[in-house]
A = this chain, B = another copy of it.
Amino acid sequence: MDYSADFIKAAEALCDAGRFIDAKGWVPATSGNFSARLPDGNIAITTSGKHKGHLKVEDIMLIDAEANSLDGKKPSAETLLHTFLYKRYPAVNAILHPHSMNAIIISKLFGQKLVLENYELLKAFKGINTHEVKIEIPIFANHQDILHLANIIDRHLEPMKLCYGYIIAGHGLYTWGDSVPDALRHLEALDYLFECELRLHGVRKT
């Protein structure tokens, strides 16, 4: 298949993001998946089963907005979580899903959401310009039926005004942004704030 220049550019950005994310230890084994929405509405997304720290362009595939493979490759089992987010948020053009351990520990210690407030670093999130704000990270139970999970998440996100990410319990974080660098900045900030919360709670049940 002949991929467009937009696809190649997005695929390279996802490979670079993978190396950065792996260096942080956030995608152990072959976990995690990443995607970017192209200008034509199709989506570049990681294929199944590759180590995300060693991605090559050929490990990225093309799907349409309904998650159908356009190049015959097999997408990640969690592809629907990506396509649902792109439909929910028209401004979002990149989604990152690492298995960062802080997200997993958060999900086992906190209930259905984590509230972040009073951190200067909250200003790393697009649209926030003060530490005097609260942001909420919903936590969902894990489920192997991804369509079921995607629907639960989508219904929860619908009434939320601002949301920068969610956690699937015992599984990992989903975060997003207008572009791959934007999503990476949100990821870096979220993991940092998760670790702050965990250190403050002494990693003990609240």
Within 8 A of B (CB), among A7-43: 28-31
At the interface with chain B, which of A66-74, A84-92, A98-106? A98-106
Whether the Cβ atoms of A101 and B199 lie closer than 8 Å is: yes
Tell me the smallest distance from the CB of A91 to a CB of chain B, in Å: 19
Q: How many copies does the complex hold?
A: 4
Residues of B within 8 A of A29 (CB): 121, 124, 185-186, 188-189, 192
Whether the Cβ atoms of B104 and A130 lie closer than 8 Å is: no
Residue-wise, chain A 119-140 has the 8 Å CB interface mask toward B (1 for contact) of 1110010000111100000000
Interface flag for A108 (CB, 8 Å): yes
Tell me the smallest distance from the CB of A129 to a CB of chain B, in Å: 8
Q: Which residue of B lies closest to A124 (CB)?
A: B29
Whether the Cβ atoms of A101 and B192 lie closer than 8 Å is: yes
Residues of B within 8 A of A198 (CB): 199
Whether the Cβ atoms of B104 and A31 lie closer than 8 Å is: no
Interface residues on A, range: 35 or more
Tell me the smallest distance from the CB of A122 to a CB of chain B, in Å: 9
If A120-B170, A121-B31 touch, whether A200 touches B203 (CB-CB below 8 Å) is: yes
Interface flag for A142 (CB, 8 Å): yes
Whether the Cβ atoms of A132 and B105 lie closer than 8 Å is: no
In the complex, A200→B144 CA distance in Å?
A: 23
Whether the Cβ atoms of A31 and B124 lie closer than 8 Å is: yes
In the complex, A155→B46 CA distance in Å?
A: 43
Interface flag for A195 (CB, 8 Å): yes
Residues of B within 8 A of A191 (CB): 28
The contact sample of 14 A-B pairs, CB cut-off 8 A, is A29-B121, A29-B186, A29-B192, A31-B120, A101-B195, A101-B199, A105-B199, A118-B170, A120-B168, A131-B144, A131-B171, A198-B199, A200-B203, A202-B204
Question: Which 5 A-B pairs give the minimum distances between C-beta atoms?
Answer: A120-B171, A29-B124, A28-B192, A29-B189, A29-B185
